[in-house]
Amino acid sequence: MGKIALTGDRPTGKLHLGHLVGSLNNRLNLQNDKSFDEIYIMLADGQGLTDNFNNPKKIRDNIIQVTLDYLSIGLDPNRVTIFVQSALPALTELTFYYMNLVTVPRLERNPTVKSEMELRGFNSGDEGLPVGFFTYPISQAADITAFDANVVPVGEDQKPMLEQCREIVHKFNTIYGETLVMPEIMLPKNEKATRLKGLDGVEKMSKSLNNCIYISEPSDSLNKKVMSMYTDKNHIKPTDPGNVEGNAVFNFLDILCEDRHFNDYLNDYKNLDEMKEHYKKGGLGDVKCKKFLYAILEEKISKYRDERNKWENNLSDVYDILETGTKKAIAKSNATYARVKKAMYMDYFDDKNKIVEEWKTILENK
């Protein structure tokens, strides 16, 4: 069996820099280092509906947004297969049978489910907990196993999903025989990258907290956002000593800045350490820091914007990319489902002669 990677995103909004440094860059590396035979990237619209079932239009509209985000950062449809989850019947069918292998208390213990329940107020109130949402880790196990994925590149927050999936694989293979591939998680290599904060410098970058810079951010709003970032509230005059910890600008610079940026945009310093020293001592104003950060971000994002523009003017090709990817994904997941049905003694209509012979034996033995 080759090396296969699968990962995905819920299409609930445009992707932001948190996604870029936390997972998209990782995918680009996988794509570019060519050590994988197959890479699948899923638009998890079905999973997105588990907490947006009353707003299906939002999910639909974000299919194109997220696809354009993928293409604009350089994911190459010739090397990765991008597809739409809901078009794959095998995924829901696998989920149905995997449900037998997971207990309610086990799902209740899943830390990601727990914290997401809290976030969405599913613990309290009249609405209660939708079964679809509660069981989404099982459907995520179907996503992963349907592709025989041995590697799942995701962020730290998805660790409990992978553990749950591995348990399902183990249980399935123990009961029905070796059928499913055991997946491994692949976390971002750059530890720091998982800690990109929002504009507030406190919370993780997240759409619901309204503290994001988007991959498709226009230049003028990028500038406004950078200028509005929280720094150090005690750093009032440039001459004041400043704090780089908990400072959104330095959090971004820590993750995004390279030495060459100083040569290109701020040649007062050779590297970030020098710049930080000056800021801490006093004498370096926030505006200068923000202008530097803006230059770095604008260099990056302007490339994405240009690329996105090309695809926006060529939506027919984008459609073809999604359709081709989805067809390939349907074939792949159907093949796995056929294997699962066989393992679970549900291959009733694959071979008439064989089944009729089997029925005869059963009846003779009575």
- Residue from 140, 164, 326, 336 that binds ligand TRP (CB under 6 A)? 140
- 27 part of the interface to ligand TRP, by CB under 6 A: no
- 150 part of the interface to ligand TRP, by CB under 6 A: no
- Residue from 4, 21, 59, 152 that binds ligand TRP (CB under 6 A)? 152
- 9 part of the interface to ligand TRP, by CB under 6 A: yes
167 CB burial (10 A radius; 0-12, 13-18, 19+):
middle
The position carrying tokens 């299919």 is: 63
Judge contact between 193 and 25, C-beta under 8 A: yes
Identify which range of 41-49, 197-205, 279-287, 353-361 contacts ligand TRP by CB under 6 A.
Answer: 41-49
- Residue from 20, 30, 44, 87 that binds ligand TRP (CB under 6 A)? 44
> Minimum distance between the CB of residue 9 and ligand TRP, rounded to whole angstroms?
5
DSSP structure string for 13-36: S--BHHHIIIIIHHHHHHHHH---
- 22 part of the interface to ligand TRP, by CB under 6 A: no
Helices (H), the chain: 17-19, 25-33, 45-49, 56-73, 89-98, 104-109, 111-119, 131-134, 136-146, 159-176, 219-227, 248-256, 259-265, 272-281, 286-312, 315-343, 352-364
- 148 part of the interface to ligand TRP, by CB under 6 A: no
- Residue from 45, 51, 143, 286 that binds ligand TRP (CB under 6 A)? 143
Of the pair 144, 289, the CB lying nearest ligand TRP is at: 144
- 72 part of the interface to ligand TRP, by CB under 6 A: no
Whole-angstrom distance, CA of residue 325 vs CA of residue 347: 27
Of the pair 22, 77, the CB lying nearest ligand TRP is at: 22
Binding marks (x or -) toward ligand TRP, 100..139, rule CB under 6 A? ----------------------------------------
- Residue from 26, 31, 47, 145 that binds ligand TRP (CB under 6 A)? 47
- 154 part of the interface to ligand TRP, by CB under 6 A: yes
In terms of Cα–Cα distance, which of 31, 82, 135 is closest to 328?
A: 82
Considering CB under 6 A, how many residues would be counted as binding ligand TRP? 14
Side-chain half-sphere CA neighbours of 270 within 13 A: 0
DSSP structure string for 37-60: SEEEEEE-HHHHHTTTTT-HHHHH
Contact positions toward ligand TRP, by CB under 6 A?
Answer: 6-10, 42, 44, 47, 140, 143-144, 152, 154, 158
